[in-house]
A and B are shown apart, each in its own frame.
Chain A
Amino acid sequence: MTLAPTSSPAKSAPAKGLLASGAQQKILAFASLIVLLVFFSLASPNFLQTANILAILQATSVNGVLAVAATLVIITGGIDLSVGTLMTFTAVIAGVVLTYWGMALPFGIAAAIIVGGCSGFISGTLIARMKIPPFIATLGMMLILKGLSLVISGTKPIYFNDTPSFPLLSTGSLIGAVIPSVPLPNGVLILFILATTISWVLNRTTLGRYCFALGSNEEAVRLSGVNADGWKVAIYALAGSICGIAGLLIASRLNSAQPALGLGYELDAIAAVVIGGTSLAGGRGSVLGTIIGALIMSVLLNGLRIMSVAQEWQTVVTGLIIILAVYADMLRRRRAG
């Protein structure tokens, strides 16, 4: 299946083709992940240890959540450069609510997610209603949010020492309390629950269907009388609230809202999305692929570190893997078409 039929208006039953192509890409990405795991396990006895696997999953949690948010937007054919600094902004908001105002934990959680959703709503409005290209609109939002994070926090980290249960949000382990041999951090659990939920939203709900439809042919969606702009705003708002979850996770893990953090994290998220086989052109992608993409990135980085590969080379290898993954995906589709 080539790109052409995806974008042709004559695709009356896109679901079947998409599923088939998506499944193949997921298998390919999954196979690469397994190859990496086997390779690093053979290369170092320290790699395949419970503590290290948990460290890898922990390292994946924040980027994974951001990548899920980016997946939604990218499937619509858009891009969201503000995910990283929005994460930071929501972390700062949680800090303001919990530490400055001394409110209870649920309020902090709700504030971060709601503020994230509002920011996504603004991005979506700029893009859908005011017709500012997504790249520019979210670039602007990225800078606005970065600046506001610094302004609100007074450029200093906000610590959560008054909310002792806050770090447990990411670093505690509900599963470990039940099965002590598997102390899976809550942050990872949250990532998996979120991924499952968003996967369901994409495949089983109207919002999900319009997400793909907007990405493959926005004009057709519009002409068929659907409120395309409204749905687009909704998708950006959903992505924004997911960034709020990422903000909570990172703040909880660091026990602090670090206001200077976040720039560059959008690129890691986009890389995970792309490695997972979601097309930057829109209309095609999956959350499962994205999670595998995020895992590939953190396994690779952790494995290279465990092998004591010099940091310069870690960066080079990561870049190569991104190109290789996308090229492999293209080859597969060309052959299938």
Chain B
Amino acid sequence: MLNRRTLLGAAGAGALLATTGIARAQDKLYIPLISKGFQHQFWQAVKAGADKAATEFGVDVTFEGPDTEAQVDKQMDMLAAALAKKPAAIGFAALDSQAAIPLLKQAQEAGIPIIAFDSGVDSDIPATTVTTDNLAAAAFAADKMAELIGGAGKVALVVHDQTSRTGIDRRDGFVNRVKEAYPNIEIVDIQYGAGDQLQSTEITKAILTAHPDLKGFFGANEGSAIGVLNGVKETGATGITVIGYDSGKLQKDAIRSGEMAGAITQNPVGIGYETVKAAIAAVKGEKLPPKIDSGFAWYDKTNIDAPEIVAVLYD
């Protein structure tokens, strides 16, 4: 009786799964993308770019990533499952390059090309890396910050984490630029909020309490930037220049209303698109450059509706 129940349940699940596209054409190239995340709008935009390339070039693409960027082992399980599917190529954004090496070697032995994307993979196994130059982008944010606060005053950073490549590069890109070019700007605090909006809000409020004369904030990813905005709003502080990173509806609204001075945007759609495109090229045996820069742009109130900016922003 109960076994029948279980069977029925499984059959029901099967029916559900069958409709979600397992009946894939066997002759299409299959390219899974194993990402660092899944739920954030940024990753969804990468996925959108990958899907766009999939439709355009007639390949099958799947997109997966762990719930949080700490779950290195879960990402390994995803990579192992992707390998079991005998894909044509794999797109991979490593949470921890060292941990992934055994599986990447396995892929290499099986002749499956790896395309690294976003923060990339610290190894010579990937055929190429599709990424944003985060150091340059964050340095540009520092230039903008200096321009907006008049080249002097206290600023603080809220960064998502100090272990990932993007976290380190954006922090260092900003801090180094300030150190070398703006002696009158003092970075009073750098705090890490895991990219969590609420946590970043609390951090921002604490920094504002400690430094009431603060002039500017740099939020190093979407969650951090939203947190900074919330924190500034909740304390009721005025005259604070907030610079964000990435996009998302809340940041875009804040830039339109003037609460946020502007933000750096990567090109997540481009990252996804270029990753799939590079994967196809690698399968065909074409030569690839070691790095494919997917680019970045500064956007603020004045250009937020310009077509070239609209194309790289996401909600």
Contacts and interface: CB of A to CB of B under 8 A. Distances in A.
Interface of A: 28, 31-32, 35-36, 39, 43-44, 46-47, 49, 51-52, 55, 58-59, 62, 155-157, 159, 167, 171, 250, 253-256, 258, 260-264, 298, 301-302, 304-311, 313, 317, 320, 324, 328, 331-332
Interface stretch (B5-13, B224-232, B248-256): B5-13
B246 interface: no
A253 B76 contact: yes
B278 to A, nearest CB: 21
Given A62-B73, A305-B78, A305-B82, A157 B17 contact: no
B136 interface: no
B209 to A, nearest CB: 22
A250 B73 contact: yes
B258 interface: no
Contacts of A258: 70, 72, 96, 99
B306 interface: no
Nearest to B32: A308
Nearest to B20: A309
Given A256-B98, A263-B70, A302 B81 contact: yes
B133 interface: no
B99 A254 contact: yes
B274 interface: no
B84 A254 contact: no
Given A59-B80, A254-B72, A36 B85 contact: no
Interface in B144-158: none
A47 B80 CA distance: 12
A308 B86 CA distance: 12
Contacts of B62: 308, 310
24 contacts: A31-B3, A35-B3, A35-B7, A44-B85, A46-B86, A52-B81, A59-B77, A155-B161, A156-B162, A171-B102, A250-B73, A254-B72, A255-B101, A258-B70, A260-B69, A262-B70, A302-B81, A304-B17, A308-B60, A309-B20, A310-B20, A313-B17, A313-B20, A317-B16
A320 B14 CA distance: 13
Interface residues of B, number: 49
Given A49-B84, A324-B9, A261 B22 contact: no
B71 interface: yes
Contact of A253 (B6, B73, B84): B73
B7 A255 contact: no
B163 interface: yes
A44 B78 CA distance: 16
A31 B106 CA distance: 33
Contact of A264 (B68, B76, B82, B162): B68
A55 B80 contact: yes
Nearest to A332: B2
Contacts of A49: 84
B128 to A, nearest CB: 24
Contacts of A253: 73, 76, 99
A301 B85 CA distance: 14
B70 A311 contact: no
A124 B17 CA distance: 44
Contacts of B99: 253-256, 258
B9 A157 contact: no
A307 B15 CA distance: 12
B6 to A, nearest CB: 5
B84 A43 contact: no
B80 A254 contact: no
A28 B68 CA distance: 33
B213 interface: no
B276 to A, nearest CB: 15
- Report which residue of A31, A55, A155 has the largest number of chain B beta carbons within 10 angstroms of its beta carbon: A55
Nearest to A258: B72
Given A254-B99, A306-B85, A328-B5, A313 B16 contact: yes
A243 B202 CA distance: 32
A58 B68 contact: no
Contacts of A305: 64, 78, 81-82
B119 to A, nearest CB: 14
Nearest to A31: B3
A264 B67 contact: yes
Contacts of B287: none
A264 B6 CA distance: 27
A60 to B, nearest CB: 10
B237 to A, nearest CB: 28
A195 B182 CA distance: 61
A32 B13 CA distance: 13
Interface in B1-57: 2-3, 5-7, 9-10, 13-14, 16-17, 20-22, 24, 32, 38
B6 A32 contact: yes
B121 to A, nearest CB: 15
Contacts of A39: 10, 13-14
A171 B105 CA distance: 14
A306 B81 contact: yes
B85 to A, nearest CB: 5
